[in-house]
Structures are given as C-alpha cells and as structure tokens.
Copies of this chain bind each other. A is one copy, B any other.
Amino acid sequence: MKLLNAQSENFQAELEALLAFETAQDPKIDQIVADICADVQQRGDAAVIEYTNRFDGTCARTLADLTLSQDDLKNAFERLPENVQTALQTAARRVESYHRRQKMESWHYLDEDGTLLGQKITPLDRVGIYVPGGKAAYPSSVIMNAMPAHVAGVGEIIMVVPTPKGERNDIVLAAAYVAGVTKVFTVGGAQAVAALAYGTQSIPQVDKITGPGNAFVAAAKRRVFGVVGIDMVAGPSEILVIADGTTPAEWVAMDLFSQAEHDEIAQAILIATSQNYLDEVKAAMDTLIEAMPRRAIIEASLGNRGAFILAENLDRACEIANYIAPEHLELSVEHPQQWAEKIRHAGAIFMGKYTSESLGDYCAGPNHVLPTSRTARFSSPLGTYDFQKRTSLIQVSEDGAQKLGKTASILAHGEMLTAHARAAEFRLKD
C-alpha cells in the first residue's frame, strides 16, 4: 500500500495519480453490444433465447422457459434456512422504512393573481432491475434496487438475472420476493438490457433500467439511454476512512479489507492524523489477511490502488475527503457529526466507530448504490426519487394572463419569436 503525506509538496499530484482511473470504453465491446441490441430490437424473443442459450449454456426453447413467477420466488424464499429468511426480511424492512422518507409528494400554490403553480409527482409505470448472476450474485443488490421502486409506487418491477448453466440462486430470488419484484426473466447480458429497453413479444418494455453489470451490460445501458432511463454507470467501488485513532485498529483494517475484497480495482484509502495509528492498522492488516478467503483479491486491490495518507489534522483530512468525494466515507472519529458538517461531497457518510460500511451495505436502511469515481460532486445515492418524476403544473388565471402576457410578449419579441408573443397577446383584454 502506498503511503502519502498530506504535507509533502507533491501531495496533490500524488493524490490525483492515486485516484486516476481509466474509464475509456472498449470499441470492440461496443460493436458486439450494438449488434446484439439491434438483433433483439428486430427479432425479439427469438434473439433473446438464442443469445441466452449461447452465452449462459442453457437450452431454453421459449421465453416461458426463462420466466419465473411470484410463486417461484416465494418457493425460493421458503427453501432458505430461517435465519437467512429473517435476515432478508429485516434488511428489506429497514431499507423500506428509510426509503419511505425519500418519497416526494405533489404540491401547488396560488400566487397573488390566482394563478396556480405546482409540481405533480408520479411514479414510473414499469422498471427493469438488472441483477448479475454467477460468481457475483448479490441478494443485497436486489433489495437496494427493487425496494426504492416498490416504495415509489412503480406498477411493475421486472427483474432480469442470468442463470449460467441454468443454476438459480435461491437467495437472489428470495430477495426479489421480499423486495416486491413483479416478475423475473432469467436472461442477462446486453440481450437482457435490449429486451427491457425495446420490449419483445414476452418481455415488456420498461421506462428505466437500474442495476450493476459487467462491461457488456454497462455498454448496453449506455446505448439504450434515452429510449429508457438508466441509473449511473458505476466505476470501481471505493472507501475512504478518516480515523482519529480512537477506533480499534483491527476494525479499521477489516473495513478496508471489506472494500478491497470486492475486486482487484476497488479502492481503499485510510487517512489518519498519526503515523503510529497508520502503523497499527498496517500491523493489524498483516495479521488479519491470513484468514481472508479472498486474500488474493484483497492484496491485489490494496497493492494497486490502496493508500495510507498521513494528514496534519482532521480539518485537513476533511478537505482531502471533499476533493476525493468518496463513494463511502467512514468518519471513524469521536464527535463524528461535527466533522460530517465539513463534508460537502460523499455518497454516504458512516459516522463513529460502530458504523462499519458493511452495516450500511446490507441493512442500516440507506441505499448501497452510491456515486463512484468522484461523481458524488454532482450526484446522489440511488433512491425512491429515482423512480418518481415531476411534472410542472401551471394554470394562469384571467388576471394572471394580463400581467404575465405583457412580460412574455416583451421577452418573446426580444427573441424574435413572434408566435410566442402573439399567443400571449391573444390572452390580453386590452
């Protein structure tokens, strides 16, 4: 792991190098995805079945073979051990409760001329949730994507999840059950994204697609953006821990590991105000790494992109955090709320030593889909609001039309848009 000193002359340059990440899209992947999308748009079900059989090693004959009903989801749930059932339900309930507070409501008011102005809130009609299959099968991701849509009041939540060689993951399907998913198609890849975006004979067209996926899925989402809405195209996951030395070093070490174990390009950074503490955490990591099943991934991730930063004080640490705008920020310090005040840019802030990021990943309540790669400077966690939209409401009174009409007329003439001006002038009495 690299060691940076915030007081060194080259610090800013070193920090920029540490955060740099090449996000260029691969033109070969783009071409393959373009072909698949065009084919699915044209041939519908037949194309989806062909690609699924080819890429996932299945032998489906019709889309019915790739369709799961509510009953299938319920059965998957019931096959699980009771403690897992309870854990899924607890997580779903807490996520639901938090996301209810995010729900937007319509409003309107009358101005002094009796003109009504407002904002009407409506849920999306139908959304698609992409869930990766195979080795990275995350039930928590199902809950985090589907529950906000459910809370928003979306009419139909369609989930797609590939099942390589036909193997279904009961926990993933059970998560869909507790999170209010309407229907599941066991298809994945660009073909699943295209089917949701354009609709096929059996897969209904949706209005928005969310959820993580591999490079093909990301390229397909970019391609269909505009036809449907998409959530962000996420970069590698990141954590920044700011520690004042009061949290046990082992706890912080494990929090860094929990980020690093995601994949080789995940990023874990620790800022502390004393070299001693950095040394303690390093020693703890050296011990704890032995027992980690994903040791190779953790070592690669920390070696590639991990760093310790020594900062002169917590004020400086917060400044650095605002530059990094991390996806996950742990303020593992005393009086964390006072320091959280100073944070302007972060996806989520985990405050105090008891708040490990992993509690937030699964069940604290807030969403675990967060802006990565410094995009917290301008974007937000996935939320209920992503499955609602606003419509402006304007009802100008006869009186209002007199005043507004004169203003609109002057400005429209200023823009040389005569019809705009005339439309306003027609509503004037004099």
- Interface residues of chain A, those whose CB is within 8 Å of chain B, are 23, 83-84, 86-88, 90-91, 98, 101-102, 107, 109, 111, 115-117, 119-120, 122, 124-125, 137-140, 171, 207-208, 226, 228-229, 233, 248, 250-251, 254-255, 257-258, 260-262, 288, 292-294, 298, 336-337, 340, 343-367, 370, 373, 375-381, 383, 389-398, 400-401, 404-408, 410-412, 414-424, 426-427
11 example contacts (A-B, Cβ-Cβ < 8 A) are as follows A111-B365, A116-B351, A140-B415, A257-B422, A349-B393, A354-B396, A354-B397, A354-B398, A357-B423, A359-B396, A362-B412
Is B294 a contact of A404 with CB atoms below 8 Å? Answer: no
Report A387 CB to chain B, min CB distance, Å: 9
Cβ contacts under 8 Å, A394 to chain B: 348-351, 355, 359-360, 364-366
Output the nearest chain B residue to A329 by Cβ-Cβ distance: B391
Given contacts A207-B378, A378-B229, A392 and B415 within 8 Å (CB-CB): no
Cβ contacts under 8 Å, A424 to chain B: 356, 358-359, 362
Is B411 a contact of A343 with CB atoms below 8 Å? Answer: no
Cβ contacts under 8 Å, A418 to chain B: 261, 292-294
**How far is B355's CA from A208's CA once the two chains are assembled, in angstroms?**
31
Cβ contacts under 8 Å, A398 to chain B: 354
**How far is B394's CA from A117's CA once the two chains are assembled, in angstroms?**
36
Is B119 a contact of A347 with CB atoms below 8 Å? Answer: no
Is B377 a contact of A258 with CB atoms below 8 Å? Answer: no
**How far is B347's CA from A419's CA once the two chains are assembled, in angstroms?**
21
Given contacts A352-B395, A411-B88, A416-B293, A359 and B229 within 8 Å (CB-CB): no
A250 contact from B139, B250, B347, B426, Cβ within 8 A = B426
**How far is B408's CA from A181's CA once the two chains are assembled, in angstroms?**
22
Is B364 a contact of A404 with CB atoms below 8 Å? Answer: yes
Is A351 a contact of B395 with CB atoms below 8 Å? Answer: yes
Is A364 a contact of B226 with CB atoms below 8 Å? Answer: no
Is A427 a contact of B378 with CB atoms below 8 Å? Answer: no
Q: Which of A260, A352, A376, A408 neighbours the largest number of chain B CB atoms within 10 Å of its CB?
A: A408
A119 contact from B83, B91, B102, Cβ within 8 A = B102
Report A103 CB to chain B, min CB distance, Å: 12
**How far is B343's CA from A260's CA once the two chains are assembled, in angstroms?**
47
Given contacts A120-B349, A378-B229, A427-B354, A363 and B395 within 8 Å (CB-CB): no
Report A147 CB to chain B, min CB distance, Å: 14
Cβ contacts under 8 Å, A260 to chain B: 419
Q: Which 10 interchain pairs have the tightest Cβ spacing? A: A229-B378, A366-B392, A348-B392, A351-B395, A257-B419, A87-B410, A380-B390, A354-B401, A358-B420, A258-B419
**How far is B262's CA from A423's CA once the two chains are assembled, in angstroms?**
14
Output the nearest chain B residue to A422 by Cβ-Cβ distance: B254
A337 contact from B111, B395, B407, Cβ within 8 A = B395
Cβ contacts under 8 Å, A365 to chain B: 111, 117, 394
Cβ contacts under 8 Å, A122 to chain B: 344-345
Is B348 a contact of A426 with CB atoms below 8 Å? Answer: no
Is B381 a contact of A411 with CB atoms below 8 Å? Answer: no
Is B400 a contact of A354 with CB atoms below 8 Å? Answer: yes
Report A230 CB to chain B, min CB distance, Å: 9
Is A261 a contact of B420 with CB atoms below 8 Å? Answer: yes
Output the nearest chain B residue to A406 by Cβ-Cβ distance: B87
